[in-house]
Amino acid sequence: MSVVREFMSTNAQCVKEDQSLLEAAVMMRDLDVGSLPICGSDGKLKGFITDRDLVVKCVAEGWNASEKRASDLAQGTPIWIDADASVDAAIDLMEKHQVRRLPVITDHKLVGIISQGDIARNYSEQRTGELVEHISARTPLAPMG
């Protein structure tokens, strides 16, 4: 059975909860990523921020990205997976929550990220296809009129 640590990217970096959203955006640009885990001063996962969050929840709301903190977008309970969990468990979580990436935790610390792409490159075509289908499933829009 394949485990998450075999597939995950290990170069994951956190934006600290007290860093500004501008700093988070700069990190995303510099790292060439579309999302970052948000970590507390204790190193524990507090949330996850995406480039879409920055646009929809910051820019579109007229927030000043230099004044707002990453913690302002760290809401709810973070979804994560243990590094020794099975890849199938990661796929199930991604499907359930319709997310394309999961922070990977060991001993309460971030050790990597497993993404839909990591799974696609390393796992069966059929299971990968199911994952993409479930994550990308959208409810059709109701006709206007």
For residue range 104-145, list pLDDT tens digits in order: 999 888 899 998 888 888 776 666 566 666 666 544 444 443
How many Cβ atoms sit within 10 Å of the Cβ of residue 82? 16
Average pLDDT of span 26-40: 92
Q: Where are the domains of the chain?
A: 4-136
The model carries a pTM of 0.78
- Strand partners for 104: 81, 112
Alpha carbon 96 to its chain's center? 14
Average pLDDT of span 22-30: 96
pLDDT for residue 117: 84
Q: For 32-82, give the DSSP string.
A: T-SEEEEE-TTS-EEEEEEHHHIIIIIITTT--TTTSBGGGG--SPPP-EE
pLDDT for residue 118: 87
45-96 tens-digit pLDDT: 899 999 999 999 999 999 999 999 999 988 778 899 999 999 989 989 988 9
- Is the domain 4-136 a CATH 3.30.1490.190 member? no
pLDDT for residue 140: 43
pLDDT at 30 over 90: yes
**Torsional sign, CA 55, 57, 62, 66:** negative
